[in-house]
A and B are shown apart, each in its own frame.
Chain A
Amino acid sequence: MLRYLRRNRQLLAGLTLIALLLVFAGVGRLVWDTAQGAPLSGPPNRPPSWEHPLGTDRQGRDLLAVMIEATPLTLYIGLLAGSLGVAIGTALALVAAYKGGRVDAIMRGVVDVGLTIPPLLLLILLAVSLNTGLTVSQMALVVASLAWLFPARTIRAQALSIKERAYVQVARLSGASGAKIIFLEIMPNLLPYLAATFVGAVSAAILASIGLEILGLGVIEANTLGITLYWVNYYSALLHGMWWWFLPPVIIIILLFIGLFLISAGLDDLANPRRRRAV
């Protein structure tokens, strides 16, 4: 495993970035008082100082405390929505690919229609309709409600090609049940794809949640990276030159996306060893 990581430098770099962010959040929680992330816990609009290393925002939140809280919370939304999406999408894809016929046709129709509609818009509609003080986990569920579509499409295509392989035929001829073939023959061979799809789904879910939050449809009282950007936009922090307010969330989000992107590129390499990079 370690030897493989040394060769797959993209995967290593991506994992390191995400690990660094988690270490920041973990250590930060131990050495810094995160209660200062609440509004009115300090003087407003202060640039970075010893007392507040990242300064404070317009409502007197200590931004270091906010970042320590927000980084894992945003990751949590992405992980919850992403894993639900991949689990549901994979289950549907496997059943559709294995059964074929009408089940497959219906699944494909629903996925085709669903993927044509820009997901952010449906999420906006859903979030506006619910409009009752959502919790962070419920918000992740809202995002997950569309996160299964893309995994369903890609996993179905992979499962269809695996289904035709000789070892699946052998298992079928030797009388294995449908569930057994799906879980013992097809599933293990899908694992590298599943991992890559999962990382993609997490990153898409984080992007969607931040999008909703910037538009003001997030959990307003929660300290997430997207909500911080919402306040940045709401109070025009840019026009007041309060760089300490918007740079930390921007940098953390950028590191998060680059980390996830590198991991998914690295996993892609793992899934298709033949597709070696030309450069």
Chain B
Amino acid sequence: MPIRYVLQRLGLFVAVVWAAATLNFFLPRISGQDPVREKLMQQAASSGYVHTGINEMVEEYQRQFGLDQPLWRQYLTYLENVARFDFGYSIANYPRTVVSILADSLPWTIGLLLITTILAFAIGTLAGALLAWPRSPRFLQYLFPPLLTLSAIPFFLLGLVLIYIFAFQLRLLPLFGGYTPGRFPELSLSFALDVGKHAVLPALSILLASLGFWALGMRGMMVTVEGEDYMTFAEAAGFKDRTLFFSYALRNALLPQTTALGLSLGQLLSGALLVEVIFSFPGIGSVLYNAIRQFDYFLIQGIVFTIVLGVTFATLILDLIYPLLDPRITYERG
């Protein structure tokens, strides 16, 4: 792998993370008001009794942002805190820290997104490849229009429809949540099954809506690859159909798909967040929804930064894997 390429990707990674932290710091300030203080005051005024911890919170807030210090000092302090993963306290759930809330909800989101993305990518890509392959069964062609239609629908809308049909009308699956209310998360088979049952519909709404996207891209690439000279050569050389399909066509058409995966991660994630809201799935999307409702500013900032970090890191990994998959890239500037 050329060192120049790696450095370039690393540079982009650092730039994005820095940009996210900077926007996190400056955006609240451009509006000219102080949403955090407003929220604290409002909470203190509305709760009637002396809210435990409100003084500490204001103090913490003053200390953390050092409001009496010049802006550039505040900015540097903020960057330093972010680098240490210190996002402060949650306003609505004091004295819980933002990081501890994130640690609880992140596994749910990562699990949901990882499984659905891998499944959708694998199934969609294979379906797209078969659709463009002249010797694949005919019935596949009828699958394409519905898949394509589904891919134009946002995940969460599909989720709403799925809940209504399968959970409300047919009562086959639970309506909402990540596990049966009242159960305590534990490491046991029955709990895992319970979680699985709750995850079917959220996963299905992401899966169904993204299959068509991968199938469409793959079909286009396969058509291009099939027109290449080496395909004609391989065919004339008398390779088996299976070898032609997997080693010649699929392998070469797969590379742009991987780039597309990197580019669409952010989109996938945004979609998954809304699916979580619709299903009250206990992941980071639901936490974000509640944080917005309660105006928990530190929590919102922490979530935004963590997600950007995660997506950017995943993109970096994919970017670094890409040249390994495609030997042609290695020689670009060697």
Q: Does B10 contact A (CB under 8 A)?
A: no
Partner of B33, one of A116, A132, A207: A132
B157 in contact with A216 (CB, 8 Å): no
Contact A246 B270 (CB under 8 A): no
Is B311's CB within 8 Å of the partner chain A?
A: yes
- Tell whether A2 is near chain B: CB-to-CB under 8 Å: no
Is A131's CB under 8 angstroms from B24's CB? Answer: no
Best-buried of A117, A131, A229, A278 by chain B (most CB within 10 Å)? A117
CB distance A124 to B154 under 8 Å?
Answer: no
Q: A217-B292, A238-B175 are in contact. Are A125 and B304 (CB under 8 A)?
A: yes
Are B293 and A216 within 8 A (Cβ)? yes
Residue from B35, B160, B168, B273 whose CB has the most chain A CB atoms within 10 Å: B160
* A154-B222 Cα distance, complex, nearest whole Å: 22
Instruction: Check B163 for interface membership: any CB of A closer than 8 A.
Output: yes
- Residue pair A254, B12 in contact (C-beta under 8 Å): no
Taking A109-B15, A216-B292 as contacts, is the C-beta distance between A233 and B277 under 8 angstroms?
yes
Q: Is B141 an interface residue (CB 8 A)?
A: yes
Min CB distance A242 to B, Å, is: 10
B154 contacts A253, CB within 8 Å?
Answer: yes
Task: Determine whether the beta carbon of A129 is less than 8 Å from that of B35.
Answer: yes
A211 touches B28 (CB 8 A): no
Give the residue name and chain of the A residue nearest to B289 (CB).
A215
- The answer to whether the Cβ of B27 comes within 8 Å of any Cβ in the partner chain is yes
Q: Inside 8 A of B168's CB, which chain A residues have their CB? A: 238-239, 241
Chain A residues with CB below 8 A from B176, complex form = 239
Residues of B within 8 A of A166 (CB): none
Number of interface residues of A (CB under 8 A): 44
B156→A214 contact, CB < 8 A: yes
The answer to whether B300 touches A254, judged by C-beta atoms less than 8 angstroms apart, is no
Q: In angstroms, how far is the closest chain B Cβ from the Cβ of A161?
A: 18
A88 within 8 A of B: no
Task: Let me know if B260 is at the binding interface, CB within 8 A.
Answer: no
Contact B273 A117 (CB under 8 A): no
Quick check: A118 and B31 within 8 Å, CB to CB?
no
Q: Interface residue tally of chain B, by bracket?
A: 35 or more
Q: A233-B277, A250-B157, A250-B161 are in contact. Are A117 and B33 (CB under 8 A)?
A: no
1/0 contact trace for A122-139 toward B, CB 8 Å? Answer: 101110111110000000
B23 and A122 contact, CB distance less than 8 A: yes
Q: Which residue of A121, A130, A246, A253 is within 8 Å of B308 (Cβ)? A: A121
CA A117 – CA B153 in complex, angstroms? 22
- What A residues does B315 contact at CB under 8 A? 116
Do A131 and B131 contact each other (CB < 8 Å), given the known contacts A118-B267, A258-B149? no
In the complex, A207 Cα to B266 Cα: how many Å?
Answer: 14
Shortest beta-carbon distance from B326 to chain A in Å: 20
Pairwise interchain contact B277-A214, C-beta atoms closer than 8 A: yes
Given contacts A120-B273, A238-B163, A250-B161, contact A128 B300 (CB under 8 A): yes
A147 lies within 8 A of chain B by Cβ: no
Q: Does A261 touch B at the CB level, under 8 Å?
A: yes
A250–B156 Cα gap in the complex (Å)? Answer: 10
Q: How far is the CA of A117 from the CA of B301 in the complex (A)?
A: 14
B16 touches A117 (CB 8 A): yes
- In this assembly, does A70 line the interface, its C-beta being within 8 Å of a C-beta of chain B? no
Distance in Å from the Cβ of B79 to the closest Cβ of chain A? 16
- Cross-chain contact of A113 among B19, B273, B278 (Cβ < 8 A): B19
Main secondary structure of the interface of B (DSSP, over half): helix
Q: Does A60 count as interface, using CB distance less than 8 angstroms?
A: no
Q: A117-B16, A216-B293, A238-B175 are in contact. Are A129 and B31 (CB under 8 A)?
A: yes
**How many contacts between A and B, using CB within 8 angstroms?**
128
Residues of B within 8 A of A113 (CB): 12, 15-16, 19
A257 engages B31 (CB within 8 Å): no
Q: Are B277 and A257 in contact (CB under 8 A)?
A: no
Interface: B312 (CB within 8 A): yes
How far does the alpha carbon of A233 sit from the alpha carbon of B277 in the complex, in Å? 8
Decide if A221 is an interface residue (CB 8 Å cutoff).
no
Contact of A279 with B by CB under 8 A: yes
Q: Are A124 and B300 in contact (CB under 8 A)?
A: yes
- Interface 0/1 of A231-250, CB less than 8 Å to B: 01100001101010010001
Q: Is A210 part of the binding interface, using a Cβ–Cβ cutoff of 8 Å?
A: yes
> Per-residue CB proximity of A57-71 to B under 8 Å, as 1/0?
000000000000000
> In the complex, A216 Cα to B286 Cα: how many Å?
12
Contact A118 B153 (CB under 8 A): no
Q: Does B164 contact A (CB under 8 A)?
A: yes
Nearest CB in chain B to that of A275: its residue: B220
When distances are taken between beta carbons in the complex, the residues of chain B under 8 Å from A33 are: none
The answer on a CB contact under 8 Å between A119 and B23 is no
- Chain A, 164-222, CB within 8 A of any chain B CB: 207, 210-211, 214-217
A114 to chain B, nearest CB (A): 8
B144 within 8 A of A: yes
Please state if A257 and B152 are interface contacts (CB–CB under 8 Å).
Answer: yes
- Among A121, A131, A216, chain B packs the most CB atoms within 10 A around the CB of A121
Judge whether A116 and B35 touch: CB under 8 Å. Answer: no
The answer to whether A210 touches B266 (Cβ under 8 A) is no
Partner of A239, one of B141, B175, B265, B304: B175
Q: A278 touching B266 by the CB < 8 A rule?
A: no
Known: A239-B168, A254-B157, A278-B132. 5 other contacts (CB 8 A): A116-B315, A128-B35, A128-B292, A241-B168, A243-B164
12 A-B pairs whose Cβ atoms sit less than 8 Å apart in the complex:
A117-B308, A121-B304, A125-B24, A126-B27, A128-B297, A233-B277, A239-B168, A239-B175, A241-B168, A253-B154, A278-B132, A278-B223
7 tightest A-B contacts by CB? A118-B266, A120-B270, A261-B152, A129-B27, A129-B28, A116-B16, A121-B304
